[in-house]
Amino acid sequence: MISHSATALECLLSRQLSQISSTVTDDTTWSTIATQFCNGTRQSPIDIVSSNLQPDSSLTGFNLTGFNSSALTKITNTGKTGKEMRLAGGGLPGEYVGVQVHLHWGNKASSPGSEHSVDGRRYPMELHIVNTKSIYNGNLSVAANDSEGLAALGFFIEATSETDKPDSWKTLTSYLPKIIEKSNFADISPNITVYDLISAVNISRYYRYLGSLTTPNCNEAVVWTVFKEPIKVSQNLIDLFSTTVHINDSSSQLIINNYRHVQALNSRVVKTQPSSNTGTRCLISLLSLGVMLIHASQTLGSL
Ligand SMILES: [Zn+2]
Which residues have CB under 8 Å from 11's CB, separation 6+? 100, 102, 293, 295, 296, 302
pLDDT, residue 26, reads 58
Q: What are the sequence ranges of the domains in the chain?
A: 8-25+36-46+63-263
Compute the distance from residue 299 Cα to the ligand 1 centre, in Å. 15
Protein residues near ligand 1, an ion, with CB under 5 A: 128, 303
Compute the distance from residue 157 Cα to the ligand 1 centre, in Å. 13
Compute the distance from residue 165 Cα to the ligand 1 centre, in Å. 23
Domain 8-25+36-46+63-263 has what CATH class? alpha beta
Compute the distance from residue 36 Cα to the ligand 1 centre, in Å. 20
Q: Give the pLDDT band (50/70/90) at residue 81.
A: very low
Pairing of strands 96-105, 150-160: unpaired
Does the pLDDT of residue 79 top 90, yes or no? no
Compute the distance from residue 275 Cα to the ligand 1 centre, in Å. 28
Buried b / exposed e over 30-69, threshold 16 CB at 10 Å, is bbeebeebbebebbbbbbbeeeebeeeeebbbbbbbbbbe
HEC assignment per residue over the chain: CCECCCCHHHHHHHHHHHHHHCCCCCHHHHHHHCCCCCCCCCCCCCEECHHHEEECCCCCCEEEECCCCCCEEEECCCCCCCCCCEEEECCCCCCEEEEEEEEEECECCCECCCCCEECCEECCEEEEEEEEEHHHCCCHHHHCCCCCCEEEEEEEEEEECCCCCCHHHHHHHHCHHHCCCCCCCEEEEEEECHHHHHCCCCCCCEEEEEECCCCCCCCCCEEEEEEEEEEEEEHHHHHHHHHHCECCCCCCCECCCCCCCCCCCCCCCEEECCCCCCCCCCCCCCCCCCCCCCECCCCCCCC
pLDDT, residue 263, reads 97
pLDDT, residue 32, reads 61
Compute the distance from residue 152 Cα to the ligand 1 centre, in Å. 8
Compute the distance from residue 102 Cα to the ligand 1 centre, in Å. 6
Compute the distance from residue 214 Cα to the ligand 1 centre, in Å. 7
Compute the distance from residue 295 Cα to the ligand 1 centre, in Å. 12
The span from the CA of 163 to the CA of 174, in Å, is 13
Out of 128-132, 169-173, 197-201, 248-252, which region has the weakest mean confidence (pLDDT)?
A: 197-201
Mean pLDDT of 206-219: 94
Compute the distance from residue 5 Cα to the ligand 1 centre, in Å. 17
Q: Regarding predicted confidence, which is higher, 284 or 48?
A: 48
Compute the distance from residue 256 Cα to the ligand 1 centre, in Å. 14
Compute the distance from residue 250 Cα to the ligand 1 centre, in Å. 24
Compute the distance from residue 281 Cα to the ligand 1 centre, in Å. 25
Does the pLDDT of residue 294 top 90, yes or no? no
Compute the distance from residue 252 Cα to the ligand 1 centre, in Å. 23
Instruction: Indicate the pTM of the whole model.
Output: 0.82
Compute the distance from residue 276 Cα to the ligand 1 centre, in Å. 31
Compute the distance from residue 114 Cα to the ligand 1 centre, in Å. 9
Mean pLDDT of 268-284: 69
